[in-house]
Structure 1
Amino acid sequence: MASQRIADEPAYVLHRYDWSETSLILEVFTRHHGRTALVAKGVKRPTSSFRPVLLPLQPLSLAFGGDGDIRTLKSAEWVGGHVMPTGEALLSGYYLNELLMRLTARDDPHPQLFDVYAAAVRLLASGDAQALQWALRAFELLLLKHMGLLPALNTQTLTLQPLTPQHRYNLLPEAGLQWLPDDGCQALTGAQWLALHTALNAASPLAALLRECADLLVQLQRPLRLMLNYHCGVGTLRTRQMMLDLQTL
């Protein structure tokens, strides 16, 4: 079979591993080919032109080839647009990368999710501390939806009964959206879940969700964390534990 050559592919570096004394294996998230593994030969040499380019949370244009599980990086260019996030925004960007590493499969394209990720990274790099948490909750919801892991937010999952606007419902990993009469004010109301459902299906879902999530940060944090940990198969994501450890110092 002829080796496939891909050029001018929008991409972000999610993770990197040592492969030899001079080379790296990169996990990249591309717009048209999904998550892809690439070998970057000689990238650790001081004279390598790849060294200042292959950074996380930076928009890149890549060329690569090969037909195996790990393809060969041919070229990489920074396309500009924003600087590297710093501080809490940088850790939040690593958190988004860990979610993509755990929940996406290799060579499974998700162009709309790629666009959502790119927009979220731009928000993190903007330096707007308030928008940072909004962006995280909105990305989590959209990631779960694109992976087919988020139930419809306009009905009760097990009974398919419509939501009552004034009742409160919990989002549970194994049961979906469920009315829990004794959950008090910790759960979102039916009206709030319906507003999120509408935002998820809007023409510009990230922008619509940012508006909705601005008022629901506390209520959404726990159910989304439980959903993500369950589907990632972990008790706590590594980047989240790192954030908690830093906050206690």
Structure 2
Amino acid sequence: MRILGEHAFVLHARAWRETSLLVEVLCAEHGRLGLVARGVRGPKRQALRAALQPMQHIRFDAVLRGELAHLASAEALDAAPRLQGEAMLSGFYASELVLRLAPRQDPQPELYAAYDLLRARLGEGEPLAWTLRRFERDLLDAIGVGLDYGHEGDGDPVDPAARYRLDPGHGPVRVRGERGGERDRSATGRALLGLAADIAPPADELGGLRRVLREVLEAHLGGRPLASWQLLGDLGRMARPRPQGGSSS
């Protein structure tokens, strides 16, 4: 099958054989797709190679054969955001989530739109924690496993003053008491209501939101952690002040 003039975001590219690349993209019409880009690592294919950088927005032609499509041509539609530090790792994290959770060749227009919005927010320097929580919410919705963050599993409205964990199949579950570190693995009802309404909660409540959403994502990842979680954790440890006379590790 020929694919002509398809719009896509580049999620990942890696070397394949001596002069080629294996590229993963998120397409507007075909969902997540693997591309074989032959000969692009040669000295005369710099423009094409530049168009296949992560987070680049492209238009491409290809021929789909089974699991992979063979790239015929590609061009950049704009300049990919120039990200550094935590913003760059956040983009890597979002792309890795799509790679792991979005099925191949399954149209995902809502996910394509969410990735487009994430890319713009990262490029504009919006707060990273809230940007990522919104993307995680939108990704889960797009792949059909989203939750109702405004109501408990039994249908009662979420109490902004209570604390909750997220059950991947049933949504918010109220935490009663603080045994076994339950409070440390929970989010405030106010933060969940903010996520439901797309209104940023107070900054000190975003950490709880991150933890409960990670539990949901881990369940859908089948227990296989993301490489970007390790990288983000390492970066956070490096950024902490070292105690006098001691080590951060």
| Matching residue of 1:6 | 3
User: Which one of 173, 178, 197 corresponds to residue 178 of structure 1?
Assistant: 173
User: What is the identity, as a one-letter code, of the residue corresponding to 2:14?
Assistant: Y
**2: distance between equivalents of 1:84 and 1:149?**
32
Query: Which aligned pairs between 1:90-129 and structure 2 lie closer than 5 A?
Result: 90-126=88-124, 128=125
**Aligned with residue 226 of structure 1, among 215, 218, 225:** 215
* Residues 178-187 or 7-16, more deviating: 178-187
Which whole-Å deviations, capped at 9, do the CAs of 1:73-131 have from their partners, x for residues lacking one?
A: 111111115533222211110000110011000011111211111111122122x2x52
Please give the per-residue CA displacement for 1:5-41, whole angstroms capped at 9, x wherever unaligned. 2222221111223332111111111111100011101
Provide the residue aligned with 1:21 in structure 2: 18
Unpaired runs of 5+ in structure 2? 239-249
Which shows bigger deviation, 187-196 or 69-78? Answer: 187-196
Distance 2:232 2:158 in 1: 35
2:217 & 2:187 partners in 1: Cα distance? 18
- Percent identity at matched positions? 36
8 Å Cα contact 1:86/1:125 also seen in 2: no
1:84 match: 82
Using the TM superposition, give the Cα deviation of residue 55 of structure 1 relative to its aligned residue in structure 2, in angstroms.
0.3
Aligned twin of 1:148: 144
Whether the 8 Å CA contact 2:59–2:75 is kept in 1: the answer is: yes
Q: 1:80 to 1:190 in 2, by over 3 A?
A: same
Encode CA deviations 1:150-184: one digit per residue, 9 max, x unaligned: 32223322x33443454332213465311222148
In structure 2, distance between residues paired with 1:238 and 1:44: 26
Amino acid at match of 1:72: H
Aligned length: 232
Alpha carbons 1:170, 1:177 under 8 Å: kept: yes
Answering whether residue 22 of structure 2 is matched by residue 33 of structure 1, we say no
Aligned letter for 2:232?
M
